[in-house]
Amino acid sequence: MLETPFKMKLFAHLTLLLATLFTLLHPTTAQDLNSLITQVENSLKQSGALSALEALFQDLKPQAEQLLAQAGEFTFFAPSNTALEKFQKKYPDLYANVTADPEWLLDVLKYHFLPGVAFDPSKAPAKSFPQTALNDDAVQVNVKGKDVTVKFDGGQAKVTESVTVAKGVVHVVDTVLTPPRALADVAKDAGLTSLIKAVQTAGLAKDAAGLTKFTLFAPTNRAFDRITTFAKSQNVAITPALLASILKFHIAPHHEYFSTDLPTDGKPVTVASALKGADLTVSVSKNVVSVSGAGTRSFKLPPGKVTKADILVKGGVVHVIDHVVLPDLKGAGAKARRSEVLERAEFGDGESAAAGGVRVSRAVWALGVVAAVVVMM
């Protein structure tokens, strides 16, 4: 629990932030400023419900001023005393690190801040993904009647009270919103170990870490198992370069496609992938979202069905799918040197394409089918 003197200090700094906010967005007299502070305090059911907030940002006044000055309209999800106490108790080390690092603390502040919009739940759709001031990383806001929840990488928060102020709105939340983690960390926690290994094998770990504004359709471990089984039946292996092409095909760059952006009328849409010249096809049937590619269809392989949507990560969003999807890789196979594509394509049981009597020409053709395979030696 936070000690009373600490709470009083935090409340004093909250008052300072509100004063800064009002001065920047609506310059006026001291009496008007006092009216705003009184309005916020009087509007909260529990007196001092935000008193544990502002001292955390006492050293960030210039940054906060700049943030507010650039925002125009704004929404601020303000963690209550209970939210901060819960966060400190659940993540004591993280709490200590965040509060000791001004840059990290500023990131946390930005992730609670929606610039350019005063979010009104009464006018909002049931689900939306507004961008925060933290590198445009999104939060998911769900509205069901009067209940409003904010989902993020670490869980979800409930809006307990809302106060309208000049050019904005403050929504008090019962949980601290933690900024989204890196893709690799989220994938690991989601159990997508085959995907992680594929990225490492293809030499794309650095590229994946640097992704911004992206959508990833992430195959499950079972999805990689299925395509690996098919590959073994064809006695075919692939090179890391070709694997990299397949992985890039699962990424839609420069745009975050959330579930709310997907088609609802059953008509397929094409989405440009990170693999140059190759488009993903996304369709919805009976509320099931499917993703496929030219290779998926030409070889009559199952599309990737989204089994878990809207996983928020740093710089983007991830949708988990149950099958690897393939572009048309016949061109890529034709360009590959035979020695790179098939030089005694060894599998776990020691069988090789040469030992199986499979001709190189057949292997190159079949390569398009199994290009997404991670050969797990």
Q: Report the pLDDT averaged over residues 115-136.
A: 94
Domains of the chain: residue spans and CATH: 4-173 (2.30.180.10), 183-370 (2.30.180.10)
For the four alpha carbons of 65, 66, 68 and 72, in that order, the dihedral sign comes to positive
The lowest-confidence range among 1-5, 26-30, 46-50, 70-74 is 26-30
The lowest-confidence range among 136-145, 259-268, 321-330 is 259-268
Residue 84: pLDDT over 80: yes
Residue 22: pLDDT over 90: no
Q: Phi and psi dihedrals of 323, rounded to 5?
A: -140, 145
Strands in 208-260 per DSSP E: 214-219, 251-253
Rounded Cα distance, 12 and 260, in Å: 40
pLDDT confidence tier of residue 270, bands split at 50, 70 and 90? very high
Q: Phi and psi dihedrals of 56, rounded to 5?
A: -60, -25
Residue 368: pLDDT over 80: no
Work out the percent of the chain whose per-residue pLDDT is above 90. Answer: 50
Residue 202: pLDDT over 90: yes
Rounded Cα distance, 132 and 118, in Å: 12
Q: Report the pLDDT averaged over residues 2-14.
A: 45
Cβ neighbours of residue 233 under 8 Å, at least 6 residues apart?
Answer: none
Q: Judge contact between 154 and 139, C-beta under 8 A.
A: no
Residue 315: pLDDT over 60: yes
Tell the residue number behind the tokens 């998911």, with chain if given.
Answer: 140
Residue 340: pLDDT over 50: no
Residue 220: pLDDT over 70: yes
- Higher-scoring residue by pLDDT: 295, 371: 295
Q: Judge contact between 140 and 151, C-beta under 8 A.
A: yes
Strands in 255-367 per DSSP E: 269-272, 279-285, 288-292, 304-313, 316-321
Over residues 127-140, the pLDDT tens digits come to 999 999 999 999 99
- Higher-scoring residue by pLDDT: 167, 113: 113
Over residues 275-313, the pLDDT tens digits come to 999 999 999 988 899 999 998 998 889 999 999 999 999
Rounded Cα distance, 250 and 248, in Å: 5
Residue 336, by phi and psi: left (phi above 0), alpha (psi -120 to 50) or beta?
beta
Q: Judge contact between 63 and 71, C-beta under 8 A.
A: no
The lowest-confidence range among 59-73, 164-178, 225-239, 333-347 is 333-347
Q: Which of 153, 160, 155, 154 is nearest to 174 (CA)?
A: 160
